[in-house]
Amino acid sequence: MVFFTIEVDQRVATIILNRPPANALATVVLKELSTVLDELEKNDDVRVLLLRGEGKFFSAGADIKEFTTIQTSEGFSKLAKTGQQLFDRIENFSKPIIAVIHGAALGGGLELAMSCHIRIAGENAKLGLPELQLGIIPGFAGTQRLPRLVGNPKAAEMMFTSDPISGKEAAAVGLVNKVFSEESLFEEAAKIANKIAAKSPNSLKATIELLQFSKSQSFEQGVNREAELFGEVFITADAKEGISAFLEKRVPDFKGR
């Protein structure tokens, strides 16, 4: 790997983006992240992914220098599609992915974070979509995910003004799940990841699928799929273990079977 390192501790894999000085998301970075996801999806020992940046930033956005190498509308649309497809994969990934935001998540960096299932930020982190300040617009699905998370008025304000918001405000408007001090951010993120990693992989995968149904399908379609997955999950060995552990007043040991 050139831009990413992977650290595995028990059942949690931490993916660290390291592309100084600002962890910019060039096409080569997006392609490498896709390869990282391939590896971790096949690793049955990994149940939860933490995604963070090295240095001062989570990611300050897309690589502006790369923009100068593209000459056509079709070229820019292709770049947007590359990011959109990867971030859609992250949103639908079979294992929970938690974005741990320190320093700044701007432009493409925030779009990457928004595609993760959970977002945790430092109190003083800066989150925003400043593309209009450059005379362009977000291209990695930011115009679609941000309103779904914070509502249209707040999304409009953030994009129209290009002003970032702090981690504290991001939590208040629903853009991130939790905020912690910069000093405790990574430790607290690991605690949350470990708590999730103790759950059955079968239940986690099914819940991720149903969460996506709630965004794109009707309520009727969602509950029908819920009933199907309820039946499929209930006959697994993990379900039997979970119920037995509850009745026996002990901690369940899920094997992913």
Q: What is the pLDDT of residues 192-202, one digit of tens each?
A: 999 999 999 99
174 and 238, same domain (yes or no) = no
- Residues 210, 225: Cα–Cα separation, whole Å: 7
- Domain assignment present for residue 257? The answer is no
187 and 208, same domain (yes or no) = no
Are the C-beta atoms of residues 112 and 142 closer than 8 Å to each other?
no
> Where are the strands (E) in the chain, listed by range?
4-9, 12-17, 48-53, 97-101, 104-106, 118-122, 126-128, 165-166, 178-180
Question: What is the mean pLDDT of the segment spanning 109-129?
Answer: 97
Per-residue pLDDT at 70 exceeds 90? no
206 and 193, same domain (yes or no) = no
Q: Kindly state the greatest CA–CA separation across the chain.
A: 66
146 and 42, same domain (yes or no) = yes
86 and 171, same domain (yes or no) = yes
Question: What is the mean pLDDT of the segment spanning 164-183?
Answer: 97
Cis peptide before 21 (omega within 30 of 0): yes
- pLDDT value, residue 215: 82
Range of the domain at 242: 201-247
Which residue is associated with the tokens 């983006």? Answer: 17
0.75 surpassed by pTM: yes
35 and 162, same domain (yes or no) = yes
Are the C-beta atoms of residues 110 and 145 closer than 8 Å to each other?
no
168 and 214, same domain (yes or no) = no
Percent of the chain past pLDDT 90, that is, above it, reads 85
Closest CA to 81 of 147, 139, 146, 143: 139
- Residue 135's contacts (CB-CB under 8 Å, 6 or more residues apart) are none
- Residues 16, 110: Cα–Cα separation, whole Å: 16
Q: What is the pLDDT of residues 90-110, one digit of tens each?
A: 999 999 999 999 999 999 999
- Residues 206, 151: Cα–Cα separation, whole Å: 27
- Residues 135, 34: Cα–Cα separation, whole Å: 29
131 and 164, same domain (yes or no) = yes
Q: Catalytic residues, which ones?
A: 111, 131
**Domains contained in the chain, number:** 2
